[in-house]
Amino acid sequence: MTDKSKITPHMLIVCGPSGTGKSTLLGHLLSHRQTCCLSRSTTTRAPRGTEQNGVEYDFVDIETFQKRIENNEFAEYANVFGNYYGTPHEMIRSTVEEKGLDVLFDIDVQGARQLRAQYPGVWCVLIAPPSFEVLEKRLRSRGTDAPEVIERRLNTARQELAQTDLFDFTIVNDVLDVSCSQICALYDALRLRNR
């Protein structure tokens, strides 16, 4: 028999440049599978729009974040687009041990590498655009970012997509229904894993 206590908790990192539909796919998975939840990160960036402290993120100032780094409170952290983001160890522990849920992470590639180093059984999936041209078109048509921000996002996207060694799986998000089925299938397979 497999000793289930030795298995890394079911953890799935979902990476992908903005504009690939990562949040939509995560939302689909969360609404179709009741055994998982999204890890809530801590960040130094200011809340946007209707975002609330303790819901989308735990919003803290830079001094608080730095203190938590010194206290070794983060399983991973990174500076993304000029702001700090991190996953508290406590978030993972309470989700797995107290709630008994699997954990999904919406984090960048720097954080994904750090988590993978600590939890060898964690799976990492890249949500990729059908092509770079499509990604550029999606970002420009959203109309939410200034041209220089779009340029920066595209450069980051290029670097992220090139890190092929990091990703165990790739979902090319072309037809949304297909990608939704694929992320659910991937999560279901993760739960069947033996090591």
> Quick one: 91 or 101, whose CB is closer to ligand 5GP?
91
- Cβ of residue 182: shortest distance to ligand 5GP, in angstroms? 19
- 48 φ, ψ (degrees, to nearest 5): -110, 145
> Quick one: 110 or 163, whose CB is closer to ligand 5GP?
110
- In this chain, which residue has its C-beta nearest to ligand 5GP? 111
- Cβ of residue 60: shortest distance to ligand 5GP, in angstroms? 12
> Quick one: 62 or 175, whose CB is closer to ligand 5GP?
62
- Cβ of residue 41: shortest distance to ligand 5GP, in angstroms? 3
- Cβ of residue 23: shortest distance to ligand 5GP, in angstroms? 9
- Cβ of residue 181: shortest distance to ligand 5GP, in angstroms? 23
Interaction site with ligand 5GP (CB under 6 A): 41, 45, 76, 78, 80, 85-87, 106-108, 110-111
One-letter identity of residue 140: R
> Quick one: 81 or 178, whose CB is closer to ligand 5GP?
81
DSSP string, the chain: ---GGGSPP-EEEEE--TTS-HHHHHHHHHHH-TTEEEPPEEESSPP-TT--BTTTEEE--HHHHHHHHHTT-EEEEEEETTEEEEEEHHHHHIIIIIS--EEEEE--HHHHHHHHHH-TT-EEEEEE-S-HHHHHHHHHHH--S-HHHHHHHHHHHHHHHT-GGG-SEEEE-SSHHHHHHHHHHHHHHHHT---
> Quick one: 80 or 154, whose CB is closer to ligand 5GP?
80
